[in-house]
Structure 1
């Protein structure tokens, strides 16, 4: 076993000369064998060891005895140790977590805390090859993509002593706020560990809760796997080999995902915006990957982000129009726009398109005039039109002046607004229904300028004029209304920078 541990450490460059390594020791066979092996290799590896044990306070006197065992062992082996207790059950109740999840969360937070106290950048944990088999099978049964089916990584990263995150999504390298977790026993089977303990006179503690088949992993270990091995005696090796193959496939796909993300995503103020048309041209695997990466970038977390969440969001971005939304885990929301879609905090104010908007209820428009839209860099220009009468700009409307009665104004929409959109042969339509049919973003509807004469709608700016005011071949007097950038103000602002 020692040779295999040495080879695994070397292959994955787990430790550097001079490292202080915090070793997570429960007192069971796996962690006891890990500590013994690292103690035997420490001079060769030029590392310093620090033992860490957390009493989860879940098994009463047995938990206390485990803690005492580890403390005594560390003293006997002349290793520094930190042995502490946490009320995991209370934490689970407070955070509404399962005991398994609460224990995991508390344990890694404790290990990170110990590492920072002793100046360590790496923590060694005792997951073994059989744990890997159970993890792959568990992910398969619960539903997972490549990221889950590749099983546990030889190394991963924790940040802020809060969340365990998947280092495969981030670039290699550890920041000052990151700690590496290493698994030196991941190529060693449970039977090899038990033999190693016997050969070296180690007497580990045994946790009876590992026999409790009400826990999903224990049921896999004691009931499901033995049955599956009657169908294929080499099942464990098959699953380990499959995990290694899928890990390579995942690494390749991840490289492609990062490239696509770099091309089509823009990070800005807690939101990630994707170029919609180009993103829709990606392979579905890359679409899912870029969405996962967006969650990772915003939350430093991919736990609980499963295929169903990502696929539902992907289909909304692929198939739905502006204003459509999809919920993502960790309080995130995907919102589709016209030319892009945004992944951001669900409570974040929606990003509005680069359109002219009103910040007041009504603005009078004399004829002729150039009127600034308050609080914006847009102006409304009202003038008599000269030939030729062509409009190539959505923010310009041509109207028959002889069919207009009342004072011109821009205003926001009002309850009960109706008009006769050009092209509907004089049929009346509610403004609310029109905006829905035209897929105008709901967040933009209340502030989109509406051109009126008195109370009659002449033009839903940027969309459609009223049939009764449109220019025909009989029109004699043409009114042109344009909403454009206030170039004078913009230029002045640029000069002032």
Structure 2
């Protein structure tokens, strides 16, 4: 039996190319049966694979009354087989409180960080942990209960970066049987006995119940994870190739993606790509899985200029050729002054506003009220001011009777709310005479073109991204 167990682990290591020979390996050692077994097995295989082993204990700061005995046990075990031993203490509670994580998640993150630091110091090639087949089954069930996709159901990978899990081919009973047969002692972690953690509840309650329906449930769930992991790896390759085609521009708080590839890819790859690229953009990580469907709907059904507003001020804007996902606060126009003739650059709006005096008797001026506007200079107060909207603004839209609140005008014109603070307002005295790009004020209508007029023209600022 013992030789069979060792051979299964050896074949699993070779199958997943965990070791090629001559590696220096950090072995996570807690004193529990899994890590003790892992250290013994790797020590048994160290001659064949020419391994250099280092044992490491991580104190999570959660069980101060038990840690001294565990430390002493692990240190002696390592000395008995001539393996160097190190330990490190981490503040799990502190991280959990700061980042809003569960104790288990915070512990996992800090434990892996500690292993990686030691690997860097020791120039280690691999870090081995004692996860086994039961852990794999439990992980699948945890993720299924919480809600997940194919990646979550793929469970614990045999190899991820420097980390290797040589025991995923064994059940817990295999490990305990080996230890008992060889009379190898270990320490039981009392936290494994509590029902406070979901994993423990699954181990003690759910898996035994499922075994009544399928006595091989652990092997079945582990095999399912293996199958899904292979499919996940294939989809990852397709998604990675797709990602190379879609990223136009990437910053910490904003993404710009090429629209055409997004519109012509299957939903399964599109959603995976969006989840990945958003997850890798620090300032956008608050966008959750639930919002991905909304973004896909915008890509599939939205028109150019359409946008969606997500919680925490995230915005997704569909342009003519790009999709922008941003956490940046909308720009607000500054305050400007314009003394005709002359021009002013409105940098926040990406526009140039030019003012010139023209003779209304020389040709047709044809103001459209959007990009070109004309006024009787004798009715204006100079210099003109250009500013953003303010609370209580109103004007008399050209062609309409009476006053209209600017807010209502913006709504009627379907101006997106995140663009309203960038719309330039040309002001004479205290009155708005032109909502640039949209409408002039009826009170400043010019009836007689056969005289000196002020012509205002707006154009896009060259090389402006907006």
Same fold at TM > 0.5: yes
- Change in 2 beyond 3 A, CA 1:468/1:380: same
Q: Structure 1 residues 99, 277: closer, same or farther in 2, change over 3 A?
A: closer
How much has 1:78 moved relative to structure 2?
0.6
Deviates more, 1:304-313 or 1:231-240: 304-313
Q: Which residue of 1 aligns with 2:272?
A: 289
1:484-495 map, 5 Å:
484=459
Contact 2:284/2:314, CA 8 A, preserved across alignment = no
Whether 2:230 is the aligned partner of 1:230: answer no
Contact 1:358-1:373 within 8 A present in 2 as well: no
Residue 316 (structure 2) pairs with residue 336 (structure 1): yes
How far 1:62 moved relative to its partner? Answer: 3.4
- Residue 47 of structure 2 corresponds to residue 63 of structure 1: no
Q: Determine whether 1:188 maps to 2:170.
A: yes
8 Å contact from structure 2 (residues 248, 258) kept in 1: no
1:150 matched to 2:154? The reply is: yes
1:306 and 1:417 map into 2 onto residues whose CA distance is 37
The answer for unaligned runs of 5 or more in structure 2 is none
Deviation of 1:20 (Å): 1.3
Q: Deviations over 1:402-448 (max 9, x none)?
A: 6993247351133322234457x546431123334545455543343
In structure 2, the CA distance between the partners of 1:198 and 1:30, relative to structure 1 (3 Å rule), is same
TM-aligned CA distance change 1:286 to 1:388, over 3 Å = farther
In the other structure, the counterpart of 2:116 is 112
> Cα–Cα, structure 1 residues 362 and 138, in superposed 2: closer, same or farther, change >3 Å?
same
The CA deviation at 1:107 is 1.8
Unaligned stretches of 5+ in structure 1?
158-179, 491-497
Which position in structure 2 is the counterpart of 1:48?
52
CA contact (8 A) 2:24 2:51 kept: yes
| Structure 2 residue aligned with 1:81 | 85
Aligned position for 1:160: none
Task: Pick closer, same or farther for the CA change 1:415–1:433 going to 2, 3 Å.
Answer: same
* 1:134 shift after superposition: 0.6
1:212 equivalent in alignment to 2:212: no
* Structure 1 residues 57-85: Cα deviation after superposition (integer angstroms, max 9, x where no partner): 43444332222111111101011111344
- How large is the Cα RMSD of the aligned pairs? 3.8
Deviates more, 1:455-464 or 1:275-284: 275-284
Q: Cα 1:306–1:246, aligned 2, differ >3 Å: closer, same or farther?
A: farther
After superposition, where does 1:43-442 map in structure 2 within 5 Å?
43-86=47-90, 88-89=92-93, 92=96, 97-157=101-161, 180-275=162-257, 277-278=259-260, 279=262, 282-299=265-282, 307-308=289-290, 310-311=292-293, 324-327=308-311, 334-337=314-317, 339=319, 342-343=324-325, 349-350=328-329, 352=331, 359-364=334-339, 366=340, 369-373=341-345, 378-383=351-356, 384=358, 396-399=371-374, 401=375, 405-407=379-381, 409-412=384-387, 413-421=389-397, 425-426=400-401, 428-440=403-415, 442=417
Cα distance between partner residues in 2 of 1:475 and 1:300: 53
Is residue 54–residue 86 contact of structure 1 (8 Å, CA) maintained in 2?
yes
Deviation at 1:136, TM superposition (A): 0.6
Q: CA deviation at 1:456?
A: 4.2
Give the distance between the partners of 2:237 and 2:365, measured in 1 at CA.
53
Q: Is the 8 A contact 2:287 2:314 kept in 1?
A: no
| TM-score when normalising by structure 1 | 0.76
Q: CA deviation at 1:247?
A: 1.9
